[in-house]
Structure 1
Amino acid sequence: MAPVKISYVVSFSSQDPKYPAENLLSEDGIQPWLGCPKDRRRQLSVELQLERASPIGYVDIGNHGCAFLQIEVGRSSWPRDQPYLTLVPTVTLMTPADSKLDQNRCGVRMFKESDFSELTVGQKWDRVRLTCSQPFSPCSRFGLSFIRLRTPQEQEPDPPRPPLDAVVPNSFVPTVRLTLSIPRRSREEEQLRSCLWKLEGAAWSPAHLSRSAQMVLLAARNQALRPRAGTSALEDHLELPAEGEGGPAEPGSALDVPAAPPSTCRQ
């Protein structure tokens, strides 16, 4: 959100010699721009030249007795008869009641891109025209205290993504290796496991099968893995439990599979 500097005043419809339009170039905003006391028109306009063509993201306006305000933008390269584009449609700065009572004259209005006309967003402009009016109080002096322009907020770039062939940390290698090495169980393996459960009625999970039954199951798995590459990675992770029934398998080992319900094991 860099500030957009105003270089000079291109033109104005009216000004008070004590409060000229050049006061809008001041950054302190102490002295306002007011219309000429002898001018009975209730509308003022001023055209400002920006230091360089820039996109406009924010506009801050200091009011000094105006009831309505409109902001337009253009380019110095345009022909004189080409109309400017509306940046901010006419907005209310003072209510009719406040205008007649001459109160709440010096408010501040801040506009952002969502308040701008679609055609002007994202484009670069080097001319700004302000048109203000006060139709409710025919005797009061009015004008603007200041105008501040800023560019849109820059979006932060997305963080770079790691390449697909990035090295995987050591702590994740065993898990990825095991997950990628184990194939889907074949229908024959499921049928074999079902037969082993029927033969050993006391066993209700693969961890409680006898060592002989587990050797048969392992041989069937190796047979299913033989056509695929990487069988050595799987065999390195498969460990048989100690001799005898009832030996629990290590948590997370290749033989630690979810237990089947007792009703499906005993028939």
Structure 2
Amino acid sequence: MNNETALITGASSGIGLHLAHEFAQHGHPLILVAPVQAELDEVAQQITAATGVPVTVIAKDLEQPKAAQEIFDQLQSSGTMVEILVNNAGHGQAGKYWEISLEKDLSILRLNVEAVLRMTKLFLPPMISRGRGRVLNTASVAGFEPGPLLAVYHASKAFVLSLSESLATELEDTGVTLTALCPGPTDTDFFPKADMMETRAFQQAMAPQEVAKAGYKGVMGGDRIVVPGMMNKTLVFARRILTEEAQSKVNQKFYEEIPEEKQKYGRGDMETAAAKEE
């Protein structure tokens, strides 16, 4: 069992929720952050009942510029030491770039990029001063490649991935490690919120529990990059051998809505369905 306190953002649903359960199963006291108090309270109750670990919840919307500082100040005033920071909160929106509102794109950048910057700026220096700590940033395989129909999301995750790799090097010999978790499509509420329920990406989505397990193992092992699942590893490898134009076209196909007559295919059949369309 491990008693390092972990702060997890975006902890009320999706990968963040399963990361919270994974950390709790290993004995970590938790600080869970998400916008809705009632959802956090329900998650905390479930985790405490299942594992007995102490859970603190902080209802903050990290799209708001002051939220990160308010979280940090609250924990500082209570004497709570964050030993593991998990920057997981994020969202996206599918569609043609010019058809998505500027405000939606800026919202994605505020949560996926700015919140990561703010939280890391605040919580990393105390870790360095103590000579120990861990940071887990939820990036994405999207960070390795262009993503037509999900352009701003891909760009935001490229930022997170690049930042994470750079900081991992800067942090050498400090006692602090930084890990980028790079899942592919994952079966979470990301898809309905991003209007992507009828896409091949959703049909091939990985279970969030497996992503969380890989993320936990990676951050505790001090890995720089974690890509869960063989399919996702293959996607990353393909990026090395395909041209940017070819990869871009592949991803556009991946994010397009599946024609209605093809929607009968299950997840395991989607590659066959895609091949028949070529």
Q: TM-score range by the shorter chain?
A: under 0.3
Say which structure is richer in helix.
Answer: 2
Say which structure is richer in strand.
Answer: 1
Higher relative contact order (CA 8 A, sep 6+): 1
TM-score by length of 2: 0.22
